[in-house]
Amino acid sequence: MTIVLIGPPAAGKTRIGKRLAKRLGLPFVDTDAVVVSQHGPIPGIFAEHGEPYFRRLERAAVAEAVAEPGVVSLGGGAILDADTRADLAETRVVLITVQPEAIAKRIANSKRPLVTDIESWKRLVSERRGLYESLADYTADTSSRPIETIVEEIARWAEEGME
């Protein structure tokens, strides 16, 4: 089973993904972490080579990660790639959402190249919302509920699909 977590920056995909993988006894892959480990910090990649270059690196990390069973956390913009969207048709996709009111503390002092403040975050989410929703098999909001509750709900949903 491959479960892919998608959603906007700072929604909590990595935190939830790690715990969900442990709960389900599956490996965990964060595609942003893969890119960083192989190519260096994402802000540096953006500054030195630009977003299109980063998206190619990201695409390669996603293709490799979703080919194996596990829980995979995608960077917020990974779904912009048509090949990635096609890959997701073969997986179970969980959309992790968060309300703007809950995001302010999460993005303070952020090193995210496309999110510099709450307004840039809102614009980015607004632009991608339709894509996120069209790909999702299940949606979980991380704005105010305990992470353990969210992980357990996603795990139950995933296990029901395995029966």
Report which DSSP code applies to 112. Answer: -
Give the mean pLDDT of the chain. 90
State the pLDDT at residue 52. Answer: 93
Which residues in the chain land under pLDDT 50? none
Beta-bridge partners for 139: 95
Q: What is the pLDDT of residue 156?
A: 97
Q: Tell me, what's the pLDDT at 163?
A: 58
- Phi, psi (degrees; rounded to nearest 5) at 109: 60, 30
Look at residue 114 in the predicted model and tell me its pLDDT: 55
pLDDT value for 158? 95
Considering all CA atoms of the chain, what is the largest pairwise distance in Å, rounded to the nearest integer? Answer: 47
The answer to whether 113 touches 46, Cβ cutoff 8 Å, is yes
Please, are residues 71 and 3 in contact by the beta-carbon 8 Å criterion?
yes
In angstroms, rounded to a whole number, what is the distance separating the alpha carbons of residues 93 and 87? Answer: 11
Say how many C-beta atoms besides its own lie within 10 A of residue 124's C-beta: 17
Cβ proximity of 23 and 151 under 8 Å = yes
Question: Could you tell me which CATH number the domain at 2-162 has?
Answer: 3.40.50.300
Q: Annotated binding residues for ATP, as ranges?
A: 10-15, 112, 145
Q: Which residues are annotated as a binding site for substrate?
A: 32, 55, 76, 128
Q: Does the reported pTM lie above 0.85?
A: yes
Sequence ranges of the binding site: 10-15, 32, 55, 76, 112, 128, 145
Residue 109: what pLDDT?
Answer: 58
Alpha-carbon dihedral of residues 102, 2, 51, 103, nearest 10 degrees?
A: 0
Question: What's the gap between Cα 97 and its chain centre?
Answer: 10
Binding site per annotation, positions for Mg(2+)? 14
Delimit the domains of the chain by residue range. 2-162
CA angle 63, 24, 152 (to 5 degrees): 110
- Determine how β-strand 28-30 pairs with β-strand 2-6: unpaired
